[in-house]
């Protein structure tokens, strides 16, 4: 079965501290992995995807197929990073399977 | 970029009435759209996959007679909540993909409150 685990429901860090949002997945085949972010009162939007290997807003995520993980990291958290973060695998034109999400709160 | 728009953004209706929510892809055609439901402080739960020109595919536990989905054109899918009850109050979100891309684009969501 397709499953995404985001173990932390809430993660609070101080501004400037490193942050890591964990994601483990169970998915048949070779899915593409995404991180989506939902800022307060805004729609869900793509943050980054593993195939692009980009750093978006200072965030990076490395796909570890052996551990089936796709943890999201940022070395220095900013207040504007406070949001809900969802990890999601997808394969082709299939619906995204979302984790339960992690609410990141960056404290000034 | 690809834009998905939902209408209305919020709606209040009386128990027993039906409510229609529209999801439009504004600058691209979407053969497939997805409908999600989000309860407060919870993640998005997939309700159904809307296929243009054919019947929607519903997830287990979602009542297809209660949540009617119509995808009559490549730019519009509608979700009708029939005979709404207070427990149907939720945030409904649609998404669509662009061609063969695996990236999903989301509507702004519709908050339904049934009183």
- Give the pLDDT confidence of B23-41 residue by residue, as tens digits: 999 988 888 899 999 988 7
Per-residue DSSP letter, A56: B
Our separate counts of H helices and E strands in chain A read: 0, 10
Amino acid B100: pLDDT? 67
* CB B111 within 8 Å of CB B9: yes
Measure CA B4 to chain center.
11
* B43 near A CB under 8 A: yes
Confidence of residue A93 (pLDDT cuts 50, 70, 90): low
Comparing alpha-carbon positions, the chain B residue that sits nearest to A47 is: B103
Interface probe for A, chosen from B25, B102, B103, B111 (most Cβ of A below 10 Å), is: B102
Sort out which chain A residues have CB atoms less than 8 A from B52's CB and list them.
Answer: none
Chain B residue at shortest CA distance from A35 = B103
Select the residue of B46, B49, B102 nearest A32 (Cβ to Cβ). Answer: B102
Asked which of A11-15, A56-60, A81-85, B39-43 is least confident by mean pLDDT, the reply is B39-43
Residue A29 pLDDT exceeds 90: no
Tell whether the model's pLDDT for residue A80 goes beyond 90.
yes
Q: Do residue B44 and residue A98 have CB atoms under 8 angstroms apart?
A: yes
Structure confidence by residue, pLDDT tens digits, B51-89: 888 889 999 999 999 999 999 899 999 999 999 999 999
Sorted by sequence, the CB contacts under 8 Å of residue B33 that are 6+ apart come out as B23, B25, B49, B50, B71, B77, B94, B95, B96
Nearest-CA distance B41 → chain A (Å) = 9
């Amino acid at each position: 079965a397709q499953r995404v685990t985001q173990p932390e429901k809430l993660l609070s860090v101080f501004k400037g501290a490193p942050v890591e949002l964990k994601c483990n997945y169970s998915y048949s085949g070779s899915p593409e992995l995404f991180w989506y972010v939902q800022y307060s009162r805004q729609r869900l939007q793509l943050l980054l995807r593993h195939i692009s290997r980009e750093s978006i807003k200072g965030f990076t995520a490395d796909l570890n197929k052996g551990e089936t993980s796709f943890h999201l990291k940022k070395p220095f958290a900013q207040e504007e990073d406070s949001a809900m973060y969802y990890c999601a695998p997808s394969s082709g034109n299939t619906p995204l399977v979302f984790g339960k999400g992690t609410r990141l709160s960056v404290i000034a | 970029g690809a834009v998905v728009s939902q209408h209305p953004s919020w709606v209040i209706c009386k128990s027993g009435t039906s409510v229609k929510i529209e999801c439009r892809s504004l600058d691209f055609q979407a053969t497939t759209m997805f409908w999600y439901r989000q309860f407060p402080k919870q993640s998005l739960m997939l309700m159904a996959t809307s296929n243009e020109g054919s019947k929607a595919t519903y997830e287990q536990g979602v009542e297809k007679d209660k949540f009617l989905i119509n995808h009559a054109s490549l730019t519009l899918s509608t979700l009708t909540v029939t005979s709404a009850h207070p427990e149907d109050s939720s945030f409904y979100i649609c998404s669509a993909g662009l061609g063969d891309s695996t990236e999903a684009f989301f509507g702004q969501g519709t908050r339904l409150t049934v009183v």
